[in-house]
Amino acid sequence: MAAEQSFDAYRLPEEHEAIREAVREVCAAKVAPHAAEADETGEFPKASYDALRAADFHAPHIPVEYGGAGADALATAIVIEEVARACASSSLIPAVNKLGTMPLLLAGSDELKRRYLTPVAAGEAMFSYCLSEPEAGSDAAAMTTRAVRDGDHWVLNGVKRWITNAGVSEFYTVFATTDPTARSRGISAFVVEKSDSGVSFGAPEKKLGIKGSPTREVYLDNVRIPADRMIGAEGTGFATAMKTLDHTRVTIAAQAVGIAQGALDYAKGYVAERKQFGKAVAEFQGVQFMLADMGMKLEAARQLTYAAAGRSERGDADLTYFGAAAKCFASDAAMEITTDAVQLLGGYGYTRDYPVERMMRDAKITQIYEGTNQVQRIVMARQLLKG
């Protein structure tokens, strides 16, 4: 098993451990110091982006032929995990760059890939993913954003909601209905540029967590784009969107694992130093049981996430199940672990002077975006019942 360097082996290949160490070093020096400020101000952490870009961790998944680092799915998950351990908002830089570009990698023409992946790899642009709408969340096929053919162009009209890094990203994968009578089979995917006439953005959402990652509505008002910006064939957009989420749910699982790890690390240090009744809080059995459960759930989540990453890299038939399972389990675990970390710090954990309350708020979104955990359970059940 070890000789084959299987992603599912317990011990990771040396190159993946080296990536973890490199990301952790960058994050400790240049990302973690900005985490609290990004949360407090609600501003995009540009210093963190610059640090990740300088180290080539901003979009590590992009293939070498387009100027990227060519990191595999496991390495990309490790990058996201380690950035999330320091700052969840910053982890959405590599995560959403993968989410936004995955449709191109799965279905885009080589010309389209070269045109748009190259600047993202170079750190000159970010890519966002526009699927959800005000009345089309979990039911994405109910979208009303419309694309109408006009000669050698398409004209897009509609509103996209909950778009991560909207306004900061230069490029957007936009899903729109090209045949309203065909429901999911009438949806197509397009690349829209921030600079396109008719593109505008709503005010930043006032969120519980991940405040340093802007979330806005994207407005498309008669946005006219060349026909060659369609991703894949007409009517294949919904299938591309679902395939994309199979892969990128693994990145949300990795983000959840990282947030949980950061909370556990901080809680361990605190209870070892904090003294009550004449001894360290860590010496009390009740506290030890809490830590044991936190560590156990975290490691189970990590192993499931890495197993899913292996399937993502290989394109295994059971990726849909494993992507949903990893995202669901890891995000539920992260919510429990961060809540317990707040409990272990007592009153201090409830204040902004300590990072665990931020981590608890950040963890919540991992149970919601890229498909709520209720949807993940539906996905898993359907996959189980197929067999």
- Residues noted as catalytic: 370
What's phi and psi for 147, nearest 5 deg?
Answer: -120, 125
Which strand (E) or helix (H) includes residue 308?
A: helix 285-314
How many angstroms separate the CA atoms of 220 and 341, rounded? 42
Q: In degrees to the nearest 10, what's the CA dihedral of 336, 337, 342, 346? A: 100
What's the start-to-end Cα distance of the chain, in Å? 27
Q: Of 275, 154, 174, give the one whose Cα is nearest residue 225.
A: 154
Which strand (E) or helix (H) includes residue 118?
A: helix 110-121
How many angstroms separate the CA atoms of 127 and 171, rounded? 5
How many angstroms separate the CA atoms of 150 and 225, rounded? 10
Contact (CB, 8 A) for 66 and 105: no
How many CB atoms sit inside 10 A of residue 327's CB?
A: 33
Structural tokens at position 330? 């890891």
DSSP conformational letter for 205: P
How many angstroms separate the CA atoms of 322 and 283, rounded? 38
Q: What share of the chain is helix, strand, coil (3-state, %, to 5)?
A: 60, 15, 25
Tell how far CA 8 is from the center of its chain.
21
85, exposed or middle or buried, with CB in 10 Å at 0-12, 13-18, 19+?
buried
How many CB atoms sit inside 10 A of residue 242's CB?
A: 16
Q: What are the residue ranges of helices labelled H in the chain?
A: 14-30, 32-41, 46-54, 73-86, 88-107, 110-121, 237-273, 285-314, 319-344, 356-365, 373-386
Write down the residue that tokens 């380690």 correspond to. Answer: 82
158 forms beta bridges with 220
How many CB atoms sit inside 10 A of residue 38's CB?
A: 24
